[in-house]
Amino acid sequence: MLRRNLMLAVALGATLLSGAAYAADPVSIVYIPKNTGNPYFDSIIKGFEDGCKTLGCEFTTVAPASAEATSQIPFVTAQIQRGVNVVAISPNSPDALNQVFDRARAKGTIILSVNSDMPGNETHRDAAILPVDFTKTGPSQVELLGKQIGYEGEIAILSATTDAPDQNVWIAAMKETLEKDPKYAKMKLVTIAYGDDDPQKSTTETEALLANYPNLKGIISPTTVGVAAAAQVVETAKKADKVKVVGLGTPNQMRRFIENGTVEAFQLWSPYNQGLLAANFAVGVKNGTIKNEAGTVFEVPGLGKVTVEKDSVIKTQADLTTFDKTNIADFNF
Amino acid sequence: MTSIDKNPVAPRVIVREAAAPRPRWQVWLIRPEVVTLLLLVIAAIVATRLSPFFADLGFILESSTYYIEFAIVALVLTIVIISGEIDLSPAAQMALSACLFGTAFKAGAPIPVAMGVSLLSGLVMGAFNGFFVTVLRLPSIIVTIGTLILYRGLAQVLAGDKSISGFPGWFVGIDYRMVGIVPVPVLVFIAASILLGLFLGITIYGRQIYQIGTSEIAAIHAGIRVRRIKMGLFIASGLTSSIAGLMVASRLGSVRYDLATGGELTMVLIVMLGGTYIFGGRGSILGTFLAAWLLVIIATGMTVANIAINAQLTIMGLLLIVSIIATNAIYARSQR
Amino acid sequence: MSEIARLFRAREAGILVMLVLFVAVVSLIQPRFFSTETLRIVLLAVPLILVAAMGQMMVLVARHVDLSIGSILGFSAIAAGMVFRDHPELPLFVGFAVGVLSGAALGFVNGLVVTVFKLPSIIVTLGTLSLYRGLLFILSGSKQIDPNDIPEPLIRMAQTSPIDIPWIVIIAFGVAFATWLFLTYSQIGRQIYAIGSNPVAAPLRGIRVMPVTILVFTLSGALAGLAGLIYAARFGYVNPGITGVGFEFTVIAAVVIGGVSINGGVGSVLGTVLGVLLLGSVQVALPILGVSGFWQNAIYGGIILIALVIDRTVRQGGLRGLLARGGA
């Protein structure tokens, strides 16, 4: 306990020292994740840190305690006041931050939306760094589940909240894939449940799915909290052989279920690379070596060539990474 | 109502006399408001030392708009607590009234009508709390925990988990409207402080409220209409909450059911920091006014110094407990 | 005494009727609800609330309230989880001991501040709600305890046992039984009721109010700590920002529904168990009925208010007495 306190004091001291250095040349970047204590964002932070080590930029991260819509606003204001060059943020709301972003940009701060965009409010940020080509998420997840259940039977989706923009894009794509592609003609989507990214609610919703649809063959949960809860419920109910769970999850969260056979495979991308890419892009734009406009191509060490697309959207990777028994041991995030 | 208070000075004299066997300078110095002021000065100095970016009045005023809505409600909460009751539901009332505003707007109502709906809902919610406390005579502390959950739940039923936005430009951004360098919400707070300070300090009602908080039974015997006044306070709390809710809606340009989550802690913290006695009968608007700025300086100072949120939560919790212990000690001293 | 006993019985019978009615109505609307599968889900949902509710019930009976249990639950779950993660070689019970003892320590602090400084528990625990959450962030370094750090035997406790009822269910009802024994047969147990019914008279009857009150808060903390381990077993991981947030309201709702009076002195284990079962059934029934989860909080809040009014009505001898005596 005492050691923790000491570490905190040291960390505080370090922050103070770095504050004084902002007057110097290096580009200063701050990353504000959705909330503190979320392991997914720790990987993004790691990417930023490593990126800044090689690029020589100043990097700090601050986060609110809860992912409530307004919780990030005071942090953005404080960063403007600190005079940082770039605020990278994973926004908790698609619209509640518009005002403060406008003010930041008026003062010359670059706003990067990392990990998700702000649909309908793209004009309030400078660019968006997305983890993957989101149009592929839906079809790719349907295929992953279809393969496991022989492309036949009832399936359900366990999502986060009803207004999560990414979730809804993916779910729409899943529906379209199931309808249009004859390969999936015998797979029937029976319902969509919402677990609010809350472990407790995701658990009761999954239990209700199992109770309401005794013939259910599979669950797709394209959210890290949901897929872990679904796997836990299926394991507890001893139905792992009857109901297949796929989704988007982090390896550390899902490792147990892969190793004990509850889950055959799940997908994700590399949050680490997102951080790395964002750091490179931020420094490039600030120094004028990268033009923030559609069509620009730039090189990120370790990732290769990256293109800025329409509306200043940048995708970190094209296809999703699939994790299963063969490769899960290689990942730690 | 006025018949019992022909001599409005009388109750004050009684209170002061009982409290003043000590030298005058001590009476002045050992007052909770003085402690709050002292803390305010210390906090400002520490914050300036913590971060070179802190000492900028424009920045502090701008940041204050994130807390000022709670501070405005805390002014009314101060009076509620002085009267011996408590209201833990204002943050939830803010959310529900803001969501009602958003829903009415989405349903096609013009903004003024939607605002009217929201204010009306504040009255109703306040009266609902007041009904449980004054008519059914249930303890406000637990009633308002119940309504806290209920109002927040209703906001969720109403708005789901979607945010409602698209309000016209003139409505959005109250915190960007400035008079000089002072944002409008801050002016509202200052004006409300003066008004409520005068109400509590010089009107008959104000003194009756202190009396109710000191001894409700004595107040009843003195012919004070305790239930009516308490009902009025709960309604005022509801109305103020809905005004604060509308201010949040304007500041964010959007509303959601989880707006102002946990705000009850911030409000109670402000009132306690201002030296209001948790058991009623003592406290002042001046103290709450100073405490609001103390909170703004502490929160803003820690955020601009990049102090991690875990330390912030810890410090806020500690502050609340220490401030009630200190206030209690001061009052215990001045009593005997 | 016999009159009070009758009152107890009346209260519990009332909750039982509500529970039966609720199950009957839901089963009529959705026959699938009336099944062993549903019973299994309800039984799995209940232990977390039940264990913490036993502590909260004692606190309420002593005429206090503990709002910090959600943060204590999170703190204990993180503390135990860190033991599991950093010292996998230690046996399971060490983690349990760390969880329960850290919860007891935090509860002890609550009790100490409340009694020594004579402060209202609701404000003190509102403060420690924030304080303990901050401390748990500091303790954990804002790092989650991942599923592969939770030992396999602990997770299996939420799934099975030698008699096929998951261990956590057995533990929870065991705790309830032990609480009943404690409150009914121990001297201290009876003293808790005495303090709650009349805090002024209690010391005159030779009851040492301060240590008993501190004990009650310590027990509440310890049980919240145990609930933290049940959380880890059931959900398979512990997150510093999520685990236990808002939990206090669920538990207070369950206890108040169970007929525990917020004016102290009244409350029984059986009533609380029934209240928890009712709440658990509501929680499970909503998604099965296809009712939006958005209704859950509104329903909880409404139930608390209704329970308050019923409580008041019973004590005032009917609705007429309630309204007639209201005049000031």
Listing DSSP states for A93-138 in one string gives -SSTTHHHHHHHHHTT-EEEEESS--TT-GGGSSEEEEEE-GGGHH
Give the number of A-C residue pairs with CB atoms closer than 8 Å.
Answer: 100
Axis crossing angle, helix B285-304 with helix A73-82, rounded to the nearest 10: 60
**Amino acid (one-letter) located at B284:** S
Decide the pairing of beta strands B164-165 and B254-255. antiparallel
From chain A, pick out residues whose CB is under 8 angstroms from the CB of C143: 37, 39, 42
A232 closest CB neighbour out of C142, C236, C286: C236
CATH class given for the domain over A135-268: alpha beta
Average pLDDT over residues B180-202: 95
Sequence-distant contacts of C189-192: CB under 8 A, at least 24 apart:
C192/C58, C192/C61, C192/C62, C192/C216
Compute CA distances A151 → A142, B172, C164, whole Å.
9, 50, 35
Residue C292 has pLDDT above 90, yes or no: no
Contact B137 C312 (CB under 8 A): yes
Going by C-alpha positions, the residue among C239, C233, C324, C227 that lies closest to residue C276 is: C227
CA dihedral A84, A85, A90, A92 (to 10 degrees): 60
Report the C-alpha gap between B205 and B223 in whole angstroms. 13
How many angstroms separate the CA of residue B316 from the nearest CA in chain C?
Answer: 7
Residue A12 has pLDDT above 70, yes or no: no
For the stretch C83-135, pLDDT in tens is 999 999 999 999 999 999 999 999 999 999 999 998 889 889 989 999 999 99
Q: 3-class SS at B183?
A: strand
Contact A211 C37 (CB under 8 A): yes
Report the C-alpha gap between A174 and A307 in whole angstroms. 26
Residue B108 burial (10 A CB sphere; 0-12, 13-18, 19+): exposed
DSSP-derived letter for residue B135 is I
Report the C-alpha gap between C168 and C159 in whole angstroms. 8
Residue predicted with more confidence, C266 or B196 = B196
Average pLDDT over residues A233-249: 94
* Banded pLDDT at A18 (limits 50, 70, 90): very low
For the stretch C43-94, pLDDT in tens is 999 999 999 999 999 999 999 999 999 999 999 999 999 999 999 999 999 9
Residue B205 has pLDDT above 70, yes or no: yes
> What is residue C317's predicted lDDT score, i.e. its pLDDT?
58
Measured in residues, chain A has a length of 333
End-to-end CA distance of chain B: 32
How many angstroms separate the CA of residue A9 from the nearest CA in chain C?
Answer: 12
> What is residue A1's predicted lDDT score, i.e. its pLDDT?
43
Architecture of domain A24-125+271-317: 3-Layer(aba) Sandwich (3.40)
Residue A92 has pLDDT above 90, yes or no: no
Residue B247 has pLDDT above 50, yes or no: yes
> What is residue B18's predicted lDDT score, i.e. its pLDDT?
52
Taking CA B279 as the corner, what is the angle to CA B275 and CA B282, rounded to the nearest 5 degrees? 45
Q: Are C45 and C244 contacting, i.e. CB atoms less than 8 angstroms apart?
A: no
From chain C, pick out residues whose CB is under 8 angstroms from the CB of A193: 287
Q: Does B311 touch chain C (CB under 8 A)?
A: yes
Axis crossing angle, helix B57-82 with helix B204-214, rounded to the nearest 10: 70
In DSSP terms, which residues pair with A194 in a beta bridge? A159
Q: 3-class SS at C208?
A: coil
> What is residue B5's predicted lDDT score, i.e. its pLDDT?
44
Architecture of domain C2-318: Orthogonal Bundle (1.10)
| Global ipTM | 0.83
Average pLDDT over residues A248-271: 94
* Banded pLDDT at B304 (limits 50, 70, 90): very high
> What is residue B4's predicted lDDT score, i.e. its pLDDT?
44
- Residue B179 token pair: 């008079």
> What is residue A205's predicted lDDT score, i.e. its pLDDT?
93
> What is residue A15's predicted lDDT score, i.e. its pLDDT?
45
Cα A2 to chain centroid distance, Å, stands at 34
Contact C134 B146 (CB under 8 A): no
Q: Does A35 touch chain C (CB under 8 A)?
A: yes
* Banded pLDDT at C151 (limits 50, 70, 90): very high
Which has the minimum average pLDDT: A23-32, C166-175, C226-235?
A: A23-32
A211 closest CB neighbour out of C41, C148, C235: C41
> What is residue A11's predicted lDDT score, i.e. its pLDDT?
47
Non-local (6+) Cβ contacts of B143 within 8 A are B129, B132, B133, C305, C308
Contact A96 B253 (CB under 8 A): yes
Which ranges of C258-294 does DSSP label H, i.e. alpha helix? 269-289
C130 closest CB neighbour out of B136, B265, B272: B265
From chain A, pick out residues whose CB is under 8 angstroms from the CB of C141: 4
Contact A196 B161 (CB under 8 A): yes
Q: 3-class SS at A153?
A: strand
Going by C-alpha positions, the residue among B314, B148, B270, B279 that lies closest to residue C121 is: B279
Q: Are B318 and C131 contacting, i.e. CB atoms less than 8 angstroms apart?
A: yes
Same fold, A24-125+271-317 and A135-268: yes
Compute CA distances C71 → B117, B132, C51, C144, C244, whole Å.
37, 29, 15, 15, 6
Quote the percentage of chain B above a pLDDT of 90: 69
Contact A65 B251 (CB under 8 A): no
From chain C, pick out residues whose CB is under 8 angstroms from the CB of A35: 241
Residue C163 burial (10 A CB sphere; 0-12, 13-18, 19+): exposed
How many angstroms separate the CA of residue C261 from the nearest CA in chain B?
Answer: 11
Average pLDDT over residues B303-310: 89
Report the C-alpha gap between C181 and C163 in whole angstroms. 24
Report the C-alpha gap between C71 and C242 in whole angstroms. 10
Contact C148 A199 (CB under 8 A): no
From chain B, pick out residues whose CB is under 8 angstroms from the CB of A94: 163
Q: Does A215 touch chain C (CB under 8 A)?
A: no
Q: Does A261 touch chain C (CB under 8 A)?
A: no
From chain C, pick out residues whose CB is under 8 angstroms from the CB of A11: none
Contact A74 B173 (CB under 8 A): no
> What is residue C8's predicted lDDT score, i.e. its pLDDT?
52
Q: 3-class SS at A245?
A: strand
Cα C123 to chain centroid distance, Å, stands at 19
- Residue B329 token pair: 């000690």
Going by C-alpha positions, the residue among B102, B98, B255, B250 that lies closest to residue B177 is: B250
DSSP string computed for A274-333: HHHHHHHHHHHHHHTSS--STT-EEEETTTEEEEB-GGGEEEEESSPEEEETTTGGG---
Average pLDDT over residues C323-328: 42
DSSP-derived letter for residue A23 is G
CA dihedral B16, B22, B23, B25 (to 10 degrees): -70
Q: Does A239 touch chain C (CB under 8 A)?
A: no
Going by C-alpha positions, the residue among C58, C249, C307, C283 that lies closest to residue B145 is: C249
From chain B, pick out residues whose CB is under 8 angstroms from the CB of A21: none
Q: 3-class secondary structure for A256-275?
A: HHHHCCCCCEEEECCHHHHH
Report the C-alpha gap between A121 and A113 in whole angstroms. 11
From chain A, pick out residues whose CB is under 8 angstroms from the CB of B63: 74, 77-78
Q: 3-class SS at A59?
A: strand
Tokens 């022909």 sit at which residue?
B6
Architecture of domain B3-11+25-335: Orthogonal Bundle (1.10)
Which chain C residues in 127-156 lie under 8 Å from chain B, judged by CB atoms? 127-135, 137-138, 142
A8 closest CB neighbour out of C138, C159, C284: C138
Mean pLDDT, rounded, of chain A = 89
Residue predicted with more confidence, B160 or C4 = B160
* Banded pLDDT at B324 (limits 50, 70, 90): confident
A69 closest CB neighbour out of B259, B306, B312: B259
Average pLDDT over residues C215-243: 95
Going by C-alpha positions, the residue among A49, A9, B264 that lies closest to residue C138 is: A9
> What is residue B297's predicted lDDT score, i.e. its pLDDT?
95
- Residue B230 token pair: 């308490």
Which has the minimum average pLDDT: A73-87, B23-37, C229-243?
A: B23-37
Going by C-alpha positions, the residue among A50, A2, A64, A61 that lies closest to residue A28 is: A61
Contact B146 C301 (CB under 8 A): yes
Non-local (6+) Cβ contacts of B29 within 8 A are none
Return the top range by mean pLDDT from A298-307, B241-250, C243-252: B241-250
Q: Are A173 and A139 contacting, i.e. CB atoms less than 8 angstroms apart?
A: yes
Q: Does A204 touch chain C (CB under 8 A)?
A: yes
Going by C-alpha positions, the residue among A172, A215, A163 that lies closest to residue A194 is: A163
Residue C325 has pLDDT above 50, yes or no: no
For the stretch A61-70, pLDDT in tens is 999 988 887 8
Residue B245 has pLDDT above 50, yes or no: yes
C146 closest CB neighbour out of A193, A235, A252: A252
Q: Are B122 and B242 contacting, i.e. CB atoms less than 8 angstroms apart?
A: yes
Report the C-alpha gap between B54 and B48 in whole angstroms. 6
Q: 3-class SS at B171?
A: coil
Q: Does B153 touch chain A (CB under 8 A)?
A: no
Tokens 């993004």 sit at which residue?
A44
Residue B9 has pLDDT above 90, yes or no: no
Which residues on chain C place their C-beta less than 8 Å from a C-beta of chain A?
A: 32, 35, 37-38, 40-41, 44-45, 133, 137-144, 146-148, 155, 158-159, 234-237, 239-243, 245, 283-284, 286-288, 293
Residue C87 burial (10 A CB sphere; 0-12, 13-18, 19+): exposed
Average pLDDT over residues A7-36: 63
A236 closest CB neighbour out of C32, C138, C158: C158
Of all helices (H) and strands (E), which one includes residue B302?
helix B285-304
Residue A17 has pLDDT above 60, yes or no: no
Residue C157 has pLDDT above 80, yes or no: yes
> What is residue A254's predicted lDDT score, i.e. its pLDDT?
94
Phi, psi of B203, deg, nearest 5: -90, 160
Residue predicted with more confidence, A95 or A321 = A321
